[in-house]
Amino acid sequence: MKTAFVTGITGQDGSYLAELLLFKGYKVVAMKRRTSLISTDRVNHLMENENFHMVYGNLNDSGCLHRLLLEHKPDEIYNLAAQSHVRVSFETPEETTEFVAMGTLRLLEAFRNTCPEARFYQASSSEMFGDNPENPQNETTRLTPASPYACAKVYAHNLCRNYRESYGLHISSGILFNHESPRRGETFVTRKITLAAARIKLGLQDKLYLGNLDAKRDWGFAGDYVEAMWLMLQQDTPDDYVIATGETHSVKEFLDAVFEHAGLDVNEHVEISERLFRPHEVPLLLGDPSKAEQAMGWKPKVKFSGLAKMMYESDLELAGKESV
Ligand code: NAP
Ligand code: F7E
């Protein structure tokens, strides 16, 4: 039985990845940090699985990372933990850098010193392309990060390449474009829209406040994207891959798709708030996933309108429980 060590288990991707790995017969050692409120909602359904082991740890604790890897000797390591909210990173730049950049360095050092035969996945991001107008973006597109989050991800991405080349380690970075799901954090724009639309539909809320509706993103489904993470670590040679749908849509288009599906009028319920704009916006992301398709046979199954409907329907069910 293979063992996988996963950081960021309580997050959106951690939960989908753990399900995939358990399905494939892995033992999953899942690292969560201590929080004052219980944060395991997304993985509570896995707790009874005898191959799922939750352990405490933190990306800012080198000794703990070292001990965990020494103790569990994983075959695969997936580094998903991060302060992953771009706008928040402008407000907490030091904490974001500490976890995203230095946290990755600490985990790489623990990996190199305890289990260098393992394979390592790094959660890199399309935010690293920032405001580079060149598109579609692929593995060779210049990185021009436009937020503290993106700057820290570029550091971690470069460090992973450096460790791969310097020490011959099996490290692959997935440059993942935005991916969403019913488990997406409620402050990311897609989920904020689907949850608000569902609550408005049921009379639980009246207004939805949003920022820049013109930004364009390449939105895919998290369930499809965790398969790409796993595939990267099954390749003989480590490499970096763009994971995207190859389609871009504005926030306004996502809003319209959801409100139309819900039978709601955008003009009646949506207001723009200056507070939600960012000091520096990334205007357009559009990924070219052809390398992943050719090398690993990876293709997204869910696209824009299917994703919007899936998320709205799930939030309608959730909001329904609230109104009982
Ligand atoms: P998420 O839902 O925000 O989850 C982040 C996870 O990291 C949570 O489990 C969080 O724990 C944990 N974490 C934060 N700081 C930590 C620390 N110091 N030590 C240990 N754990 C810590 O993010 P996601 O959407 O699943 O994304 C997974 C990864 O992919 C992240 O690295 C993100 O930056 C990257 N990424 C995401 C996307 C996307 O569109 N979703 C695209 C490209 C790259 P708590 O529950 O305790 O907060
Ligand atoms: O914003 C605009 C906002 O916060 C998308 C993270 O997973 O993907 C994510 O980062 C767009 C931006 O995601 C609101 O200005 C308008 O242009 O959903 P988001 P993100 O910033 O693209 C990348 C790939 C990651 O790596 C990150 O970890 O939507 N927008 N109005 C808004 N955004 C938010 N959050 N809230 C609004 O009210």
Q: Which is the catalytic residue, given 19, 127, 180, 227? A: 127
Give the angle 79-85-90 at the CA atoms, nearest 5°.
120
d(CA 143, CA 37): 37
Residues of the chain with CATH 3.90.25.10: 185-217+249-285+303-323
| Residue nearest to ligand 2 atom 17, measured at CA | 215
Distance 314 CA to ligand 2 centre (A): 20
* pLDDT tens digit sequence for 42-94: 999 999 999 999 999 999 999 999 999 999 999 999 999 999 999 999 999 99
Question: What's the CATH number of domain 3-179+219-243, 3.30.70.3450, 3.40.50.720, 3.30.465.10, 3.10.450.50?
Answer: 3.40.50.720
Kindly report the length of the chain: 324
Contacts 24+ apart (CB under 8 A), 102-105: 102/59, 102/60, 103/59, 103/60, 104/59, 104/79, 104/155, 104/156, 104/159, 104/160, 105/156, 105/159
Ligand 1: residues with CB < 6 A are 7-14, 33, 35, 39, 58-60, 80-84, 99, 103, 123, 125, 176, 178-179, 185
d(CA 205, CA 186): 15
Best probe residue, ligand 2, of 189, 214, 273 (max atoms within 8 Å of C-beta): 189
Distance 266 CA to ligand 1 centre (A): 31
State the angle between helix axes of 62-72 and 103-114 in degrees (0 to 180), rounded to the nearest 10. 40
Contacts 24+ apart (CB under 8 A), 106-111: 106/59, 106/60, 106/61, 106/62, 106/65, 107/7, 107/59, 107/65, 107/77, 107/79, 108/159, 108/160, 108/163, 108/171, 109/62, 109/66, 110/62, 110/65, 110/66, 110/68, 110/69, 111/69, 111/77, 111/169
Q: Report whether residue 278 contacts ligand 2, using a CB cutoff of 6 Å.
A: yes
| Residue nearest to ligand 1 atom 2, measured at CA | 11
**313 contact partners, CB below 8 Å, separation of at least 6:** none
Q: Which atom of ligand 2 is nearest to the CA of 209?
A: 38
The answer to whether 43 touches 9, Cβ cutoff 8 Å, is yes
Q: Which is the catalytic residue, given 149, 155, 163, 241? A: 149
Distance 211 CA to ligand 2 centre (A): 10
CA of residue 31 relative to chain centroid, distance? 16
Residue 127 bears catalytic tag: yes
- State the fold for domain 185-217+249-285+303-323: UDP-galactose 4-epimerase; domain 1 (3.90.25)
pLDDT value at position 323? 72
Q: Please report the sign of the dihedral spanned by the C-alpha atoms of residue 185, residue 187, residue 189, residue 192.
A: positive
Q: Please report the sign of the dihedral spanned by the C-alpha atoms of residue 286, residue 280, residue 278, residue 240.
A: positive
H-helix segments, 245-303: 251-262, 266-269, 290-296
DSSP state letter for 99:
I
Residues of the chain with CATH 3.40.50.720: 3-179+219-243
**22 contact partners, CB below 8 Å, separation of at least 6:** 28, 46, 49, 51, 52
Distance 84 CA to ligand 1 centre (A): 5
d(CA 190, CA 186): 8
Pick out the chain residues at pLDDT < 50. none
Q: End-to-end alpha-carbon separation of the chain, Å? A: 44
Residue 26 bears catalytic tag: no
Residue 98 bears catalytic tag: no
Q: State the CB neighbour count (10 A cutoff) for residue 56.
A: 11
| Residue nearest to ligand 1 atom 13, measured at CA | 81
| Residue nearest to ligand 2 atom 26, measured at CA | 125
